Structure formats: structure tokens, C-alpha cells
Amino acid sequence: MIPKQKMKLVYGLVLYFLMVGVLCYAAFPVSPPEVPMRIMYDVTAGKVLFDHQTHTSESAYGLSCWDCHHHPVDDDAGLIACGTCHTATGDANGQPEVCLDCHDSDEIEDTEVMKRADAFHAQCIECHQDYGAGAVECAACHVIR
């Protein structure tokens, strides 16, 4: 059996380190990376790894954020995740059903919100075909299971 005094010491140390950890976490927040990260999309056709650095670095494709993120507002607030509007299933699930739910008709070309897979395929494959860079075959992006 452990004496009460030692247990108080152990509990005190645990509480102390817990408080130090919480304070450090709050005092030193993690900043976003300067270079965008890689994203793994898990889809029915097989996982797709998208590497932002390959697309944005000058030694590769040299694209700007706005070449792919086609949100009409040209500021950092416009760089939202595709899944915010384009759901995997195409249902509303709290997402807008049509673009006009959030945007004026003069801001956008098409008013229908397409499924996320259709948006990716239209954006990615069209760009790869237009510039002759990158994959256009399914297995080049999708890791078939």
C-alpha cells in the first residue's frame, strides 16, 4: 500500500504537468504551414492523394491558389474547402443546394452545386488535359483497392 503523502505528491505532480500542458497549448498555438499540405481523399473509386506543393511550386506546375480554388472572392477568405459546398453525395446536409443560396447570379457561371467528385474531375482532368501536365487516367490518381 502506498502512503497518503506519496499519493498526494503524485497527484500534485500530475495536476501540475496537466496545467503546464494546457497553458503551453493555449500560449503557443500552432500556426498553419506556409506551404499547403497534402490531402488524402478516401473515395469509392480508391484513395486519392493531392499534393498542394506539387501544384503550387515554381519547379512543378507553378499554379496560384486561384487557378484551382474558383471561389469568386479574390482574398484568402475565398480559399474554402471544396467539401464546404460540394458534398460527396450531392445532398444538402446543411450545405447549400444551389450556388445562389450564398452568391449573386452575376458572381457565378453555373448555379447548380455539383457533387464533389464531379467538381474535382471537371477541375483536375480538364486542367491536366489543357496543359498536358499530370495524369488523366483514373489509376494515376486513384489508388484502386
pLDDT of residue 38: 83
pLDDT tens figures, 3-51: 899 999 999 999 999 999 999 888 887 776 665 688 888 888 888 888 8
Domain ranges of the chain: 1-30, 38-143
Return the CATH superfamily for domain 38-143.
Cytochrome C3 (3.90.10.10)
CB neighbour list of residue 36: distance below 8 Å, 6 or more residues apart: 52, 53, 56
Q: What does the pLDDT look like over 54-75, one tens digit per residue? A: 888 888 788 887 777 766 566 6
Q: Which amino acid is at 13?
A: L
DSSP labels, 96-131:
-SBGGGTS-GGG-S--B---HHHHHHHHHHHHHHHH
- Cell, residue 25: 497549448
Q: What is the DSSP string of 4-39?
A: HHHHHHHHHHHHHHHHHHHHHHHHSPPPPPSS--EE
